[in-house]
Every structure is written in structure tokens, then in C-alpha cells.
Amino acid sequence: MRILRTPEERFADLPDFPYEPRYADVPDGLRMAYVEAGPADGEPVVLLHGEPSWSFLYRHVMPELAAAGLRAIAVDLVGFGRSDKPADRAEHTYARHVEWTRALLFDALGLSRVTVVGQDWGGLIGLRISAEHPGGVARIVAANTGLPTGDIPMPEVWHRFRNAVLKAPVLDIARLVQAGCRTELSEDVRAAYDAPFPDESYKAGPRAMPSLVPITPDDPAAPANRAAWQVLTTLDRPFLVAFSDGDPITGDMAPILLKSISGTSGLRHPVIKGAGHFLQEDAGAELGRQIAAFVTST
């Protein structure tokens, strides 16, 4: 496996992101990065980002969790942020991303009673981890995400995004993030989203992720996702559905989760107003307050 590592100087002067990076080794000789906020002995809340962002996306969520006495841990998925980047798209598989992230949380960091928060691909990975290793999970938050099995068609807007990522000669990371936001991103914020990727050779992860989403029933990842659904529907863990009011990509998943997952029963599920697909960017503080209230009350 040919592995690229983004030079640290690319991450200088990040706006509103004062957190010192931490690192841990995971399988296949890779190093994953993460940042923390809040007391070290607080209940751990793991924040998993999606395509094509990184832990910087959670910079307005983390202070709210820390203020509530929680230990916020924002992870950079392999291929993103400060984490190592396999240079060959074929090295990125759904199963590998699940295992890399699981190994970070439970083997390297030794976490237990984790609240798993997933948005976009962070949900596709986090929901699988929660279903396959429920003993380490205390609660789950799904925020603009889902767990596709290929049995239900994806929306047309998602197919347009997938095709754009696959075919673009130059993948404009900041533009993709901006397209999923309702607020206008400043130049320094756009630069922060571009920072992990000095050139096209570093973008195998963002290039690969859309094609790893199961969109046909015979997709290699479909059986594992169906098995995860079977666990999640009856799992006795509090499950919060915290979607925005303006996500054309995953918005239809909210009612399915609410209807199917037993852990959603008896909870008040917020709708984050005025936010798009990247609700952490549009309404991060509000999302953070909702997650903190959920964790501290369950």
C-alpha cells in the first residue's frame, strides 16, 4: 500500500480550530488522527465526519460538548484530514474503513460506553460499528446520514454528485463542501477544507467514497449493512435522529430511522433549522447542544 501523509504545515492557522492533533496506529500500517475537547474522564462522544470533509467540520460542535462535561473526540477518517492517505483508490473499501475506525476507537484508544455521532459517511461507518460492536456503544446519533443496502434507490441529486466526483479532472474539495451548506463559507474556511489535499494524488479517499456506497442489492457491502439493520432495529441503545431541515441527499432517511429503530422511541428528535447537508457547518453549535442534552439525559 502506497501511503501519503499531508505535511503538517498545510494545517497552519486553521480558523476556530485550536485543537492539537493526536495520532494512533491502525491496521495496514496506517496512522489515524483525531482531536479532543473536554475532560479526559468525561463520557466519550465520537464525532465521525463524511465525504469530503474532516474533523475541522466539528469545530463548532466540540465546545458545546466540552461545556457539558463530555469528552469530544473528532476523528479524521483514513484518507482525510491529518490521517494517512492510501494513494490507490482500490485500497479504499467500505469494510476497511469500518475496521480502521473500529480499531482506532476500541483497540488504540480503548474507549467504552461511546456515543457514536455520524454524518454522511461518518454514519455509514458509525452505524456499522455500533451494530457490529454494541458492547462498546452507549448511544447513537444519526445526523444527515443513513445505512444504504442497495434495495432502495438513491436520490438523483446523489447520483449527480457521485458522477461529478468520479469524472472531475480536478476535485474541488472546498466547492463540494460549500455545495452542501446554506451559509457562505469564508476563504479561510474553504482553505481549511482544502488543506489535507496538497494535490490530486492525495484525493484517493474522496474520489473513492461515493463509489463505495451500496446502490445495488448485490453490492459487496450490502449483506453487512442488511445485517447491521437487523441489529439496530432491536438494539436497546438510545438513538437520536438529528437531521437538518434542508438536506436533499439524506433527508428521506430520517422518517425511516424513526420508524425502524427501536432506540428512537420516547425521545425528542430535533430538526436543525436553516441547515443543509453539512449541518455542522451551518448550525454546529445547535447540533452540539442537542447532542449534549441527549447524552446527559439518557
Residue from 60, 92, 97, 277 carrying the catalytic annotation: 277
CA distances from 110 to 45, 46, 56, 136 (A): 13, 13, 23, 10
159 belongs to the catalytic site = no
Residue from 76, 84, 120, 282 carrying the catalytic annotation: 120
172 belongs to the catalytic site = no
Residue from 76, 219, 247, 282 carrying the catalytic annotation: 247
194 belongs to the catalytic site = no
Task: Kindly list the catalytic residues.
Answer: 120, 247, 277
